[in-house]
Amino acid sequence: MSDVPTTSDILNFNGQPMSPEAAGQLRAERLADPKYAEAARNGDMEKARELAALWQLERGREPATNAPQDVAGVVAQMSEREMADNRRRVDTWAGLIQMTPERRAEIERMVATEENVAAAKRELERMKRDDVFRRKVLANDMDAVDRWSRMNLIASMRPVPADYKHPW
């Protein structure tokens, strides 16, 4: 094993590269200083955050630099993560089915009319009984796979009344 750290061994601490070993050493030095350790235990949040970051670095994890500081920040971060998850889900579907801007908007909201959901479920049942269609799907026929995927997607959407007003 080489003494030269690899890229994966170097983490970032206050804008400076630091290995897990160096983080452990610095954390031990901080805790050995009675004034520093006492201040961290008695509510000095900056020192407590630094010790927590060093603890994470020592275990090979990059400490969060954008951690929310209040409830509103947590809510905003959760919302951002949910939107990112939704984009990834829609991007996955875009790789499986033909995607128009309108279809993308429907998929992002995961809603379809009650009639469309019911029709998709009926169509899926019909497709399952159709031996020719089933063979096409199993042979990876692009049009058949697209139709099968779209019907499954629509069938899984939240049904809304026919007079539902889309927000877009």
Q: What is the pLDDT of residues 25-55, one digit of tens each?
A: 999 999 999 999 999 889 888 898 889 888 8
CB half-sphere exposure, 137, CA atoms < 13 A: 16
104 within 8 A of 94, measured Cβ to Cβ: yes
How many independent structural domains does the chain possess? 2
Same domain, 27 and 98: no
Residue 4 inside a domain? The answer is no
> Could you tell me if 47 and 89 lie in one domain?
no
Pick from 7-11, 25-29, 54-58, 63-67: least confident: 7-11
151 and 83 in a common domain: yes
Write out the E strands in 91-134: 111-113
Provide the pLDDT for residue 7.
Answer: 43
Query: Per the structure block, which two tokens stand in for 40?
Result: 């961290």
Highest mean pLDDT among 12-21, 123-132, 140-149, 153-162: 123-132
The answer as to whether 23 is a domain residue is: yes
Given this model, what pLDDT does residue 14 score? 77
* Pairing, β 158-160 against β 111-113: parallel
The predicted model scores a pTM of 0.43
pLDDT at 97 over 80: no
The predicted model gives 99-123 an average pLDDT of 82
Question: Residues 33, 91: one domain?
Answer: no
Considering the domain architecture, whether residues 13 and 79 belong to the same structural domain is answered as no
- Residues 79, 154, single domain; the answer is yes
**Whether the Cβ atoms of residue 107 and residue 153 lie closer than 8 Å to each other:** yes
Considering the domain architecture, whether residues 108 and 35 belong to the same structural domain is answered as no
70 in any annotated domain: no
Residues 34 and 84 in one domain: no
pLDDT over threshold 70, residue 165: no
Q: Is the same domain home to 84 and 137? A: yes
- What's the rounded mean pLDDT across residues 103-109? 77
The answer to the question of residue 105 being in a domain is yes
- Which domain, by its residues, includes 34? 9-58
